[in-house]
Amino acid sequence: MLVDPEPSAPQPMKPHYPKLSPRRGWWRDVMEIVALIVIIYTLVNLSTARAIVEGPSMQPNFYTGQLVIINRFAYYFNPPQRGDVVVLNNPTEACKDVVKTRGLIELPFLSQNTSNGQCEDLIKRVVGLPGETIEIKNGRVYANGTELEEPYITTFCTVGCDGTWTLTEDQYFVLGDNRRNSYDSHSFGPIDRRLIVGQAWIRYWPLPDVGIIQHPAYGPVSPTYAAPTATATAPHPRQKSSPGVSGEEQGLEVR
């Protein structure tokens, strides 16, 4: 009579641990480092740009030779705000073709400067928002009849600067801080939103001026237009007599 052998007890299984092998070609390390550098460089340059300030139109807050970083993503989710220092494509008719070319998506290290020297980007401050009526009287700016307090202005333009502009729902009014010597919405009127490249974010040269570009605080502005009261007032304490706006403009050499 055959008897089945007694089944053997199961043997415990040895755990298998993943092994990391230090053996890899040096060329693979080099390629990974190069790929990482290219990815970081591309992302940084697609989201920001470096620019050199040229011209007097933003004095005394920006001077020729200062270097600024432009945040191109600043307005992807939120619109420009009053007081923002922005970089915009030159809105003049002669620069339309150049602006259209710049609108193409290009890799930073392959893009070429298509500017002919007359169509450089401009740096200005937003003072008027979509749908507002902007009025300038004696150099003072009124948004929907509310006078804007502008502590960053030292000299107001009082000759040849006054006017009234009504903005559409996609337009902004931009001015230089040097009101008597700036090529801005005084000259070319309100600008379309699509012309705004980004926000001037950080000033990184010269070293004494390094820092985040400050945003001024404004009081509440009326949501609807009300004409300013036509009363004779004394000049503002900061206001100085000045000539009209000249053709000088402040450009940016974008890197």
Residues with a catalytic annotation lie at 57, 124
Closest CA to 251 of 52, 114, 54: 54
> Which residues, other chains included, contact 176 with Cβ-Cβ below 8 Å and sequence gap of 6+?
57, 58, 124, 125, 182, 183, 184, 250
b (16+ CB within 10 A) / e for 185-221: bbeeebbeeebbbbbbbebeeeeeeeeebeeeeeeeb
Q: With contact defined as beta carbons under 8 Å apart, do 155 and 197 qualify?
A: no
**Distance between start and end Cα atoms, the chain:** 96
Query: Taking CA 174 as the corner, what is the angle to CA 173 and CA 179, rounded to the nearest 5 degrees?
Result: 125
Count Cβ atoms within 10 A of the Cβ of residue 246 and give its class: 0-12 exposed, 13-18 middle, 19 or more buried. middle
b (16+ CB within 10 A) / e for 100-127: eebeeeeeeeeeeeebeeebbbbbbbbb
Give the count of beta carbons closer than 10 Å to the beta carbon of residue 62.
26
Q: With contact defined as beta carbons under 8 Å apart, do 57 and 246 qualify?
A: no
Q: With contact defined as beta carbons under 8 Å apart, do 118 and 103 qualify?
A: no
